[in-house]
Structure 1
Amino acid sequence: MENISKFFKWLKENKGKLFVMVVSAFIFLFVLFPFDDLSDLISSQVAKVTNNAVYVQFDRLKMSLIPQPGVQMDHVYIESIRTPALSAQELVITPSITGLIQQKPYGSVSAKGLLKGDVNVSIGKGNRSDNGVERHRIEVSAKKVALNDIREFANLPVLLKGQLNLETTALADLTFQEQPDVEINLTINQFELPPANVNTPMGPLTVPELKLSSIELKGRLAAGRLVIESGTIGKPGDELQGTVKGDIGLTIVNRGGAFGQQIGAYNFDIDLRAKKSFQDKAGLFLTFIDNFKSPTADGAQYKFKLSASNPMMPPSFGAAR
């Protein structure tokens, strides 16, 4: 007890010195420490950990305490052997204190200028599945992401233009022992599809030019199926507008640490209204659904069902209910 009393007495007598020491340490760590010099070290460590599969470079690194501890990197460049290069004007990584204590990947990542938009990802604790598998709650928000940049990143065969906004909330096991549960809200503004030839199970198909004010989809991914609960294509005044509902098999698989997807059977109910100007330039494309056409004052309405047992089989067309 005597030693404890002496210790607290010493703390009381030297509290001013201790305060100065702590403040000085924080100033050195967060203001004066040359974090920018760590760029090469971090790049080499990332390359080492990933067996030279990922290369990271940035111009500036700094730490922050408010509103919570985090790391900010400016002008980030990420290159991978499996995907095209990515860049962001600013990348902020904010780990969760609870996650660090529990050794869980909790926290948030914010990227400005990623695919010309802003993307935020947060990971927290989620409810266990019915089988007792631990799941994480993952929230993703993307604003004004360029479709053309997504096309290049995903190596899609057709040109796409527009801005994508996305809000999703998922409960997922990060090893994907079980399929995730995901709520999806997606909007694409000023969508443009230039004329293109697309390979389909029925052979090459000429896709006409298409411009839409917006595309809005709301749905969920559960038990390996993506269900589109409501979909709106275009707006009044567009050459093409309509609605779509249905579902498609979509299973996420873990192939030794590399994640992929398997697409299965699909079934969609589609209701489209096309103006005469779109009919004139999309005549060949519309012949597949000509049996489901009803004339309108300024064009035609097409109501049909589109389905197939797998994406490699030619689809079947039927009358919508």
Structure 2
Amino acid sequence: MNCNVLKTSLPAEKVHKTRYAPTPSGYLHLGNLYSFILTATIARNTSASILLRIDDMDRDRFRQEYLQNIFKTLRFFELPYQEGPKDEVDFLKYWSQQHRLDNYTKALDELRQKGLLYPCACTRTDLQKAGLLSGCARDCSTKLRLDDPGLNWRYRTPEQSQFLQLFTGETIAYDFPVSMKDFIVRKRDGTPAYQLCSVVDDTRFGVNLVVRGVDLLESSIAQVALSHSLDNNTYATAVHFHHPLLTDKAGYKLSKSEGAESLHTLIKSSSTPSQILTLLAQRCGINHLVSHWTDFTYSELTSIV
């Protein structure tokens, strides 16, 4: 991906709120814990507050036990946050994304009125056969209507570069990624898709520091573009920190879908917080005992390869 450094700034002095944004689609693993601790460390160093924003729009993968695992993990490791649900009951009653459907619908309506959406019936198989990573393979926009049932809604992505403010103090222009071309903002079943929900939520809650894995850099670029297309949306001015990923012994990133060793299993086996944190430290190349997440330093957490 091509990018250009345009200027430097001091984003660390501007950030005031960040977030944990787990999904209840599997048990959390060491990579999730690393991201939480890095977020908490940056928040502590910058006096930023932390929002717990649980992304539960994907109801097909949602499980109550995965939701419980999020709260149990945060409590077990004494990870702080100042805004968001205190437990599973509070989340389902007040904080679920299901309560914010009107916000997502409003954003979709706005994009539609601006002519930035089109219907698409293409499946992943269709895209693969056409040699495409994303977008439409059959010119669906000329044959279908947005109100036809069972269709994805795609956002007409821009061709120009997108600017991201990074925590390092740089503002960088990234070419728009091919893999995110005309990404989906509403799924076939009528539910809003992740990229749209994330942008709307971060703006609604005033988040201006986004900490996520480097594997989601392309999502950040796509979300900045989407933010520019929405009135009064501030995601495009957020500061981004894309951290390195923890990997398994074979060098693959830890993943829920790939069955990475879960925190649920480690906690259930009677491991103490210190034992798990020390294991995490070893995965990061840090060779000292860790009793509490505050024992990690920013430089240690950001020096893993």
TM-score range (shorter-chain normalised) is under 0.3
Q: Look at both structures and tell me which one has the larger radius of gyration over its CA atoms.
A: 1
Question: Greater relative contact order (Cα 8 A, min sep 6): structure 1 or 2?
Answer: 2
TM superposition score normalised by structure 1 = 0.19
TM superposition score normalised by structure 2 = 0.20
Which structure has greater helix proportion?
A: 2
Which structure has greater strand proportion?
A: 1
